[in-house]
Structure 1
Amino acid sequence: MTDNSTRLDHVVLWVSDPAASAAFYQETLGLAPVRLTEFIAGEAPFPSVRVNDETILDLMPMTMAERMKMLPGAAESAGHPVNHVCLSLPEADFHGLRTHLEEQDVPVSDYSYDSFGARGKARRSFYFRDPDGNVFEARHYD
Structure 2
Amino acid sequence: MIERLDHLVLTVADVERTVEFYEQVLGMRPVTFGDGRRAVAFGQQKINLHPASEPIDPKAAHPTPGSADLCFVTTQPVDAVLARLDARGVAVEEGPVERTGALGPMTSVYFRDPDRNLIEVSRY
TM range (shorter): 0.3 to 0.5
More strand, by proportion: 2
More helix, by proportion: 1
TM value normalised by structure 1? 0.41
